[in-house]
Amino acid sequence: MISFFTTTQSRQLFIALVIFIPGLLLLFYMIVVEDEPGAIPLLLTFSGLIWIVRIVHHRNERPDLRS
């Protein structure tokens, strides 16, 4: 089986997804209920998304991890 990420990157990706997904769900909830997004859901969503992009970008820079 081909490993796309190292163990450390897999852990970081899991943590980033744990931050991103609830932030996205909370953002949708806040928009539906209050008709405006709050600062905390936006912060969670953007910080998780930026973290995911950095992990994937770092993977693409390392030639030993490319598939």
pLDDT tens profile 8-37: 888 889 999 999 999 999 999 999 999 988
Q: Which domain holds residue 54?
A: 8-61
- The pLDDT of residue 47 is 95
Inside any domain, residue 49? yes
Inside any domain, residue 25? yes
Q: What is the mean pLDDT of the chain?
A: 85
Number of domains composing the chain: 1
Nearest-angstrom CA–CA distance, 34 and 28: 10
Inside any domain, residue 45? yes
**DSSP conformation letters of 21-64:** HHHHHHHHHHHHHHSS--HHHHHHHHHHHHHHHHHHHHHHH-GG
Q: Is residue 1 scored above 60 in pLDDT?
A: no
In tens, the pLDDT along 46-67 reads: 999 999 999 888 776 766 555 5
